[in-house]
Structure 1
């Protein structure tokens, strides 16, 4: 007895691939997106630490650049903001530094 269409299993792999491929690619893209998000988070944390260290100690790493035009570190002095911005932006690679908002203030 020949059942014809019911016994024909050619093309079943293509149908399975068509069903599973979008979910697989969505998972792969999600993994990459989450990895980039965590990488940016770590990069911003490090930049904030470097900027805070620069303001607190007045010391800037050699790779940050020339800060000879910054004078004083008194509270409210624009030099603190410039020092923080220079130190923080030096350690940020993949993010545009102009798109980051921050506030330099004294915390008691």
Structure 2
């Protein structure tokens, strides 16, 4: 149980840093994040961000509901299923990223 708690704390810091890095890179590449939506790579990026939001939602569910439930009941089934969905979302993120980084390139906006 202690391992799950430590992983959750470390993941919170890492995810926060990744989100900040993503915003900084978007601003550097695009200049105007709203104008990005008119470009094909911006549309791929929007799809990726939607899946990342889903992944973060699952992570929040795990941390706030399913991990405490595991501690109370000892039943790992719901947490295990949620982690499988997280892995699937992560794979979709990789697929979308690989697709848009190899097929379309950002153009400087503004």
Is this a same-fold pair by TM over 0.5? no
Which TM-score applies when normalising by structure 1?
Answer: 0.37
Which TM-score applies when normalising by structure 2?
Answer: 0.36
- Pair member with larger Rg: 1
Query: More helix per residue: 1 or 2?
Result: 2
**Looking at both structures, which has the greater relative contact order when contacts are Cα pairs under 8 Å and sequence separation is at least 6?**
2
